[in-house]
Amino acid sequence: MKPAMIRDTGAWQLQVWLSFGIAVFLCAVGLAYLPGADLDRVFMVMGYLFCLSNVFVLSKMIRDNQKAKMEGRVDTPMFKYVVWSGFLLAMALTAWGLLRMEINETYKAFLGVAWLYLVTSAFTLAKMLRDRHEADLLAGHDDRA
């Protein structure tokens, strides 16, 4: 007997995608109108993308390790170290770049909140997409063909 997998509702999926889209939009607006040097803008875009990509890598590693533990397997400690280090480095460098910019404190706060909103909504999106994938696998809908 296959284990039951409860799927997310359409409303939840819409809310997750909207939340992620709003976060991306707010980050884009904040960076587009960032006062100061172009180098600051480029650094922050790079930092946001670095954080965003690391969110998905970290989410995948944690979820894969959870499944692997149930099967008696685990990733190498070095891989976990690399993934966690990459995520923490991305967050730290982005925070450092944001704090060192010589711009209005209110603008820094806007960029900081938009950035954290992006990161948290990306974690939620990654979980929702992985849940959908696992539900499809349990249902026998393997779309890798």
Any domain includes 67: yes
Q: What is the pLDDT of residue 2?
A: 58
pLDDT digits (tens, 9 = 90+) for 46-73: 999 999 999 999 999 988 888 888 888 8
Any domain includes 102: yes
pLDDT at 4 over 90: no
Any domain includes 19: no
Q: How far apart are CA 90 and CA 87, in angstroms?
A: 5
pLDDT digits (tens, 9 = 90+) for 86-130: 999 999 999 999 999 999 999 999 999 999 999 999 999 999 999
Domain that holds residue 108: 38-135
Output the furthest CA–CA distance in the chain (Å, rounded).
61
Using an 8 Å Cβ cutoff, are 64 and 80 in contact? no
The 3-class secondary structure across 36-96, one letter per residue, is CCHHHHHHHHHHHHHHHHHHHHHHHHHHHHHHHHHCCCCCCHHHHHHHHHHHHHHHHHHHH
- CB within 8 Å of 105: residues ≥ 6 apart: none
Using an 8 Å Cβ cutoff, are 125 and 41 in contact? no
Any domain includes 23: no
Total of domains in the chain: 1
* Token duo for residue 67: 């499944």
Any domain includes 2: no
